[in-house]
Amino acid sequence: MHTKLQVMKFGGTSVGDAACIRRSAQIVANASREYSVVVVVSAMSGVTNRLIDAAHQAKRGDREAGKTLGDALRKQHFEALAALVPDEHARLRVECRIEELLAEGTRLYEGTALLRELTLRTLDAISSLGERLCAPVFAAALSAMGVAGVAIEATELIVTDSFHGGADPQAEPTRQRSQQRIGPLLQHGQIPVVTGFIGATSDGLLTTLGRGGSDYSATILGAALDAAEIIIWTDVEGVLTADPRLVAEARTIPEISYREAAELAYFGARVLHPKTLRPVMPAGIPVWIRNSFAPDKPGTKITQQGRSIGGGVKALTAIRDVALISIGGPGIVGVPDVVGRTFSTTAQLRAEVLLISQSSSQNDICFIVAKAHSQTTLDALRREFAQDLAHQVVDHITMDPNIAIVAVVGENMRGTPGVAGRTFHCLGNEGVNIIAIAQGSSETNISFVVSDQSVKAALLATHREFDLGVSRQFGTMQGTFTVPGGFDKTSPEILDAFEGKSDLEKS
Ligand code: ASP
Ligand code: MG
């Protein structure tokens, strides 16, 4: 057993087929010469989506969907296994386990089709199967390479509340169970391969941590096991300065702070599940984002401090598929509860509000929600304010779906005067019209709303203004160093990561 522990998470595309699993297992085998390693795996890419789709078909009474998918999953996992594990006995053991899991799946699908009912609890049980199928295959691939992999289900380790579909972990019991179960394995030089995405309530009911949750699993376990570092192996080379489809000069950021990374995750650069960094913040455990397809590249390191750069701006991100709702009129000045009623309406609908802006004259409140929620939000507000509209206290409630949010993110913007000035000046020069602006008091981002057609121009102008694309100097304790070169701009994986669909559509 080595003194330092690395927790390594491999996302769906990094375990997408036998060749990917072999590449990832090789990364683990190499690291295990220097570190104790705990592996966390996602489902093979696409599997979770297929499991969930079939569950909805079963709910509509389709009795075949589950069976058809079960057959496809058997084939997919057996094929990977055959390519990775030459030893027949070892293979047979995993095949038996796969059959057990598929049988469990069949029962769940049959029950769903029979009752035509799909509870969140059942959906969790169904959607967990991808990770549970993948872990034994990955563990066997490691063993075939001469490093002893042991598949472990995270239901034994991660204790959560009972909020199915997005459960929250409980740190203390998780710590106890993880150390008890994982400690002895590490002592024997074994490599636990843990299912990402899932946990269990204290009385043993399986839960999931929410879509894309295996990043979160990795940091939960990293914190519980006092890991030295956590590496999220994915299919992009880390966190980029901007969406490379829109900004050709975008490049990988070498180091970024927890807050900046969380801010970017929230604002649509979906490299990480938004909750991922929470568990590691108190202990300050660094998290790396690296590319399992290019393991020689350094990736992005996420730390407490980040690394300060000149102007304080680290990255830009844009959220599209959103709509701006505004509510206002001169009459609302006198109505003290307009803000309260507006946001209790969105809260009732569980519509996440991405940005809020209110002018001090209170003539107008505007906010942004995902397009998926925009029409229901608009309708609900018109109902809520029906009386006020009738009496012209509120004179309009409108929606503009052709907008986007652009966020300029960087922790060191705080206390750096002029970032906002430079941002809006350069946008002015490009003729980009700004519809609304918000800057939180945390000052880690300035977000503004522009028309959807001007997103690209806005990103290009700000990227250039803050020199994000050129090789530049980063201050360090010892002196300075220069950021290494960019990345392969044509890589489809990198592009995918910025489509906002990345993880989920590939999962
Ligand atoms: N397989 C799960 C999902 O697709 C978890 C993950 O991949 O992070 O959401
Ligand atoms: Mg993911």
What does the pLDDT look like over 29-58, one tens digit per residue? Answer: 999 999 999 999 999 999 999 999 999 999
Q: What proportion of the chain, given as a percentage, has pLDDT over 90? A: 70
CB atoms within 10 A of CB 290: 23
- The pLDDT score that the predictor gives to residue 311 is 64
With beta carbons less than 8 A apart as the criterion, state whether 133 and 41 touch. no
Whether 367 shows a pLDDT value over 50: the answer reads yes
State which of 197, 206, 273 you would mutate to test the pocket of ligand 1, scoring each by most atoms of that ligand within 8 A of its C-beta. 197
Burial call 298-336: b when 16+ CB within 10 Å, e when fewer = ebbbbbeebbbbebbbbbbbbbbebbbbbbbbeebeeee
Task: Kindly list the distances between the CA atom of residue 440 and the CA atoms of 93, 178, 323, 411, 413, in Å, as whole numbers in the listed order.
Answer: 55, 38, 20, 12, 12
DSSP of 116-166, one letter per residue?
A: T---HHHHHHHHTHHHHHHHHHHHHHHHHTTS-EEEE-GGGT-BB-S-TTS
Q: Does the pLDDT value for residue 10 go beyond 60?
A: yes
CB atoms within 10 A of CB 30: 13
pLDDT of residue 58: 98
* pLDDT at residue number 308: 65
Distance from the alpha carbon of residue 28 to the mean position of ligand 2, in angstroms: 18
Q: How far apart are CA 154 and CA 135, in angstroms?
A: 10
pLDDT at 482: 30
| Residue 414 confidence (pLDDT) | 74
- pLDDT of 440-474, one tens digit each? 666 788 899 999 999 999 999 999 999 998 654 34
Average pLDDT (373-392) is 94
Alpha-carbon dihedral 410, 413, 414, 415, rounded to 10 degrees: 160
Dump the DSSP string for 442-473: T-SEEEEEEEGGGHHHHHHHHHHHTT-SS--E
pLDDT, residue 477, reads 28
Q: In whole angstroms, give the CA distance from residue 188 to residue 149.
A: 11
In angstroms, the CA 385 to CA 327 distance is 10
Which ligand lies nearest the alpha carbon of 212? 1
- The confidence score (pLDDT) of residue 498 equals 42
Ligand 1 pocket by C-beta < 6 Å: which residues? 11-12, 42-43, 48, 130, 196-197, 211-214, 503-504, 507
pLDDT of residue 46: 97
User: For residues 52, 53, 55 and 58, what is the CA-based torsion angle, rounded to 10 degrees?
Assistant: 180
Indicate if the pLDDT at residue 502 is higher than 80. no
Q: Which residues of 455-474 are buried (b: 16+ CB within 10 A; e: fewer)?
A: bbebbbbbbebbebbeeeee
Lowest mean pLDDT among 201-210, 279-288, 438-447: 438-447
Any idea which ligand is nearest the CA of 197? 1
The stretch 238-263 carries a mean pLDDT of 89
More confidently predicted of 67 and 391 = 67
Identify the CA nearest to 141 among candidates 63, 51, 26.
26
Of all atoms in ligand 1, which is nearest to the CA of residue 12? 7
Distance from the alpha carbon of residue 294 to the mean position of ligand 2, in angstroms: 17
pLDDT value of position 481: 30
CA 292–ligand 1 middle distance (angstroms): 17
Q: Which residues contact 317 (CB under 8 A, 6 or more apart)?
A: 242, 243, 264, 267, 268, 269, 406, 407, 409
- Residue 417: band (very low, low, confident or very high) from pLDDT cuts 50, 70, 90: confident
Ligand found nearest the CA of 289: 2
Are the C-beta atoms of 466 and 313 separated by less than 8 Å?
Answer: yes
CA of 212 to the centre of ligand 1 (A): 4
Cα-based distances in Å from 400 to 140, 233, 381, 392: 53, 38, 15, 21
Question: Counting atoms of ligand 1 from 1, which one is nearest the CA of 213?
Answer: 8
**Highest mean pLDDT of the ranges 164-173, 231-240, 272-281, 490-499:** 164-173
* Residue 222 pLDDT greater than 90, yes or no: yes
Note the ligand closest to the C-alpha atom of 40. 1
Q: How far is the CA of 398 from the centre of ligand 2 (A)?
A: 36
For residue 16, which ligand has an atom nearest its CA? 1
Mean pLDDT of the chain: 89
Angle formed by the axes of helices 88-115 and 120-127, to 10°?
A: 160
The closest residue, in CA terms, to atom 6 on ligand 1 is 212
- Other C-beta atoms closer than 10 Å to the C-beta of 426 total 18
The answer to whether 19 and 499 are in contact (CB under 8 A) is no
Q: Give the closest ligand to the alpha carbon of residue 132.
A: 1
User: Of all atoms in ligand 1, which is nearest to the CA of residue 506?
Assistant: 4
Ligand 2 center from residue 215 Cα (angstroms)? 6
Residue 332: predicted pLDDT: 77
Atom of ligand 1 nearest to the CA of 211: 9
Mean pLDDT of the 192-200 span:
98
C-alpha closest to that of 138 among 265, 20, 231: 20
Contact 58, 117 (CB under 8 A): no
More confident: 210 or 481: 210
pLDDT, mean of residues 270-296: 92
Q: What angle do CA 171, 268, 42 make, to 5 degrees?
A: 50
Q: How many angstroms separate the alpha carbon of residue 415 from the centre of ligand 2? A: 34
Tokens encoding 109 = 């699908």
Mean pLDDT in residue range 71-94:
98
Q: How far is the CA of 380 from the centre of ligand 2 (A)?
A: 34
Q: What percent of the chain is predicted at pLDDT more than 70?
A: 89
Taking the centre of ligand 1 as the mean of its atom positions, its distance from the CA of residue 453, in whole angstroms, is 32
> Which amino acid residue places its CA nearest to atom 4 of ligand 1?
507
Taking the CA atoms of 218, 219, 220 and 223 in sequence, report the sign of the dihedral they define.
positive
Take atom 5 of ligand 1 and give the residue whose Cα is closest. Answer: 212
Nearest to 256, CA basis, from 300, 313, 318: 300
Q: Which residue's CA is minimally distant from atom 8 of ligand 1?
A: 212
Among the ranges given (121-125, 181-185, 252-256, 333-337), the one the predictor scored with the smallest mean pLDDT: 333-337
- What is the number of the ligand 1 atom nearest to the C-alpha of 215? 8
Q: Which atom of ligand 1 is nearest to the CA of 43?
A: 1
Could you tell me if 435 and 442 are in contact, meaning their C-beta atoms sit under 8 angstroms apart?
no
Reply yes or no on whether the pLDDT at 476 is more than 50: no
Q: What pLDDT shows up at residue 88?
A: 97
Ligand 1 centre to CA of 356 (Å) is 30
Residue among 235, 246, 243 nearest 291 (CA):
235
437 Cα to the center of ligand 1, angstroms: 34
Banded pLDDT at 243 (limits 50, 70, 90): confident
CB under 5 Å of ion ligand 2: residues: 11, 212, 503
pLDDT level of residue 363 (50, 70, 90 thresholds): confident
Q: In this structure, which residue's CA is closest to atom 2 in ligand 1? A: 212
Ligand 1 binding pocket mutation candidate from 8, 10, 42, 209 (most atoms within 8 A of CB): 42
